[in-house]
Every structure is written in C-alpha cells, then in structure tokens.
Chains A and B, each alone.
Chain A
Amino acid sequence: GAVVSQHPSRVICKSGTSVKIECRSLDFQATTMFWYRQFPKQSLMLMATSNEGSKATYEQGVEKDKFLINHASLTLSTLTVTSAHPEDSSFYICSAPPSGGASNEQFFGPGTRLTVL
C-alpha cells in the first residue's frame, strides 16, 4: 500500500520553543492531508485539514495561530507547533488520501511524539 512518512518520530523541546513536524506521501500525490492529535489513552482527534495551494481549515477549538500548517507541495505538509507548552505534549499523526482516490482510502503516518518540558 501507499506510504506516508513523518519526521521526526519523536521530539523533546523546551517550553516556549517551536517545533515543526513533516508529513510526506512517498509514492503518491495528496492535495489534502489531515492532522490528528492523540492524548494518552484517548482517541485521535482531527485538528485540521491541510490543502495544497490554499489555507488549512481548522476544527473547532484548534488555534490556527498556534498550529501553523503549510502544504508546500503535493507530497508534503508541515505542522508547526508554535510556542509549545507542556499541554501540547501529544502524539501527532497525519493522514493522506491519494488525489483522485476513493475518499475512504487514507494512509496514515507513523506519528510524532512531542514532549514539551
């Protein structure tokens, strides 16, 4: 199946710093990518939809100025957690449906574990 990668897989940072997470579709193009957040022992919650060539759309309650999303190309979306705080510590996962593919066919990245000290 198609592969989605994330980098880094794990990051530890100090409070107040910014962290960038990359999501890449390795063997297909994706005009849309999704970013999820998962707190320990909880489900995945959709944060935002990343759209190539246009602004991201954020779910209710997600601060767009704090979670900056840039869909730089058809194979890359980045999520930047700005001025990170300990409460931002979480597991961040991206997913991507291949462009032109079935809407129910999505491929998930392996996730990035963010720890903010």
Chain B
Amino acid sequence: SQQGEEDPQALSIQEGENATMNCSYKTSINNLQWYRQNSGRGLVHLILIRSNEREKHSGRLRVTLDTSKKSSSLLITASRAADTASYFCVVGGGSNYKLTFGKGTLLTVNP
C-alpha cells in the first residue's frame, strides 16, 4: 500500500506559531502532494514535490521529501486562524492516475 500516514493526527497551535506535519508512505513514488480540506468541504491542492526534489517552498509552506526514509513534512509558518483545516499527504498518480490519501492531520490554529 502506498497509503501515507500523517503524524500527528491532530495539532492545535496559537496564531503566529509554526505548524509541522509529517507523512510516511510505504512504496516508491514519483511525487508526493499535500492537500488541504476545510471542514466538510472539497480539497485544495497545496503543493507537489517530485521524487528528485528534497525541498520546495510555496508562500508560507515548506515541504520536504526524504525518499530514503519514505517520509515528507509540511511546514506552515506564521500560522493564521484561516489555516485551520485537515491536511492530507497524497501519493500515487502514474499511468492509472490513482491517488492514495493519508489519514490526515487536523490542524487547529487558535486566534
């Protein structure tokens, strides 16, 4: 299974603090993506990192990928209350387009 597993399952921080979420997966990948889901809503694509990349930035987001450890991390800097959401790492794609979602981390940013 390529299912990613996020750690922690839930994270509560104060506004302005940084939030770090980790993801582990089991098989080799071509890329890894992170998505955000606000409560009971659709998914928003955040960032994609390819297997030959080690780190990628997008605004307040920083993603790292360690293929030797089959793990990735998502860092959100200077968090805001609006960042409150569930965050999923996603692996897959490839020739059959199938994506496999991790269990997710529920991030709560308190104002």
Contacts and interface: CB of A to CB of B under 8 A. Distances in A.
A110 B40 CA distance: 9
B43 interface: yes
A43 B103 contact: yes
Interface in A83-117: 91, 93, 95, 97, 102-104, 106, 108-111, 113
A104 B30 contact: yes
Interface size class of A (residues with CB under 8 A): 20 to 34
A36 B41 CA distance: 13
Interface in B75-111: 88, 93-104, 106
Given A103-B93, A104-B33, A46 B99 contact: yes
B40 A44 contact: no
10 contacts: A32-B97, A46-B98, A46-B100, A93-B43, A95-B43, A103-B95, A103-B96, A104-B48, A108-B35, A108-B43
Interface of A: 1, 32, 34, 36, 41-46, 49, 91, 93, 95, 97, 102-104, 106, 108-111, 113
